[in-house]
Amino acid sequence: MSAGLLLVGASGLVREVLAAGITGVAGILDDDQTLHGSQIDGIPVVGAVSAATDRDESLLVCIGPSASRRSVVRRLAKSGVGLDRYATYVARSARIGRTSTVAPGSILLDGVVVTADASIGHHVVVMPNCTVTHDCVLDDFATLAAGVALGGSVRIRGAAYVGMNASIRQGVEIGRGATVGMGAVVLADVPGDRTWAGVPARELEARG
């Protein structure tokens, strides 16, 4: 693998990562052809996502929505891109406890605090000023929006999304693909693929 890094997705998240001070970026990949040849914060958009298979820089998928991020990673996997290609980005102002782990592909932005014995999976995005306390587990492709606070031993299942400034009580599980609304206070387990919001959080009824 050569030196350098390619950011995948010309998104708001890519601008967040650049603003946080990431270094060594060789270019950005995005499927929107109208962006090819343009720049984002001085970094050129050098081609489509598929170009990753023809290059050998490390990759960091900067796509905000969990399901979309997962879709791109799966697509690249089918083209032969393995886990060893993915970088991890932890902003300099983030604090990661020495007994906690962060898997490749994940992004932790400014002001994030991860304390003791937490486990952060692959391609997780933790936006600024989140708090992840002891024994929490964030499965692959989970997303925490800015200001989320997790009590101890919270489990965020794969591709779940927790909205801005939400708080999750200790020991609670957020199911796979679930959505927690911004500002919610979650006191009980949230089933997979459901949307909960409010204080205390309750399931939102689907609208016909």
**Domains in the chain: boundaries:** 5-85, 88-198
Q: If you ran DSSP here, which 8-state letter would residue 156 be given?
A: E
The pLDDT mean for the chain works out to 96
- Give the pLDDT confidence score for residue 207 in this predicted structure: 52
Q: What is the mean pLDDT of residues 201-206?
A: 86
Are 180 and 168 a contacting pair, CB within 8 Å? yes
Q: What is the mean pLDDT of residues 165-175?
A: 98
Q: If you ran DSSP here, which 8-state letter would residue 175 be given?
A: P
Q: How many CB atoms lie within 10 A of CB 153?
A: 16
Are 142 and 121 a contacting pair, CB within 8 Å? yes
Lowest mean per-residue pLDDT among 80-84, 118-122, 161-165: 80-84
Question: Above 50 in pLDDT, residue 1?
Answer: no
Q: To which CATH superfamily is domain 5-85 assigned?
A: NAD(P)-binding Rossmann-like Domain (3.40.50.720)
- Give the pLDDT confidence score for residue 92 in this predicted structure: 96
Q: Give the model confidence (pLDDT) of 43-88 as tens digits.
A: 999 999 999 999 999 999 999 999 999 999 999 999 999 999 999 9
- Does residue 122 carry a catalytic annotation? no
Q: What is the mean pLDDT of residues 129-157?
A: 98
- Give the pLDDT confidence score for residue 198 in this predicted structure: 97
Q: To which CATH superfamily is domain 88-198 assigned?
A: Hexapeptide repeat proteins (2.160.10.10)
Q: What is the mean pLDDT of residues 131-136?
A: 98
Q: How many CB atoms lie within 10 A of CB 159?
A: 24
- Give the pLDDT confidence score for residue 205 in this predicted structure: 76
- Cα–Cα dist 91/159, whole Å: 22
158 annotated as a binding-site residue: no
Q: What share of the chain has pLDDT > 90, as a percent?
A: 97
Q: Give the model confidence (pLDDT) of 5-47 as tens digits.
A: 999 999 999 999 999 999 999 999 999 999 999 999 999 999 9
Q: Is the peptide bond before 200 cis (omega within 30 degrees of 0)?
A: yes
- Cα–Cα dist 204/137, whole Å: 25
Specify the DSSP element, H or E, that contains 137: strand 137-138
| Choice among 36, 122, 123, 134 that is catalytic | 134
- Cα–Cα dist 28/7, whole Å: 5
pTM of the predicted structure, to 2 decimals: 0.95
- Give the pLDDT confidence score for residue 41 in this predicted structure: 94
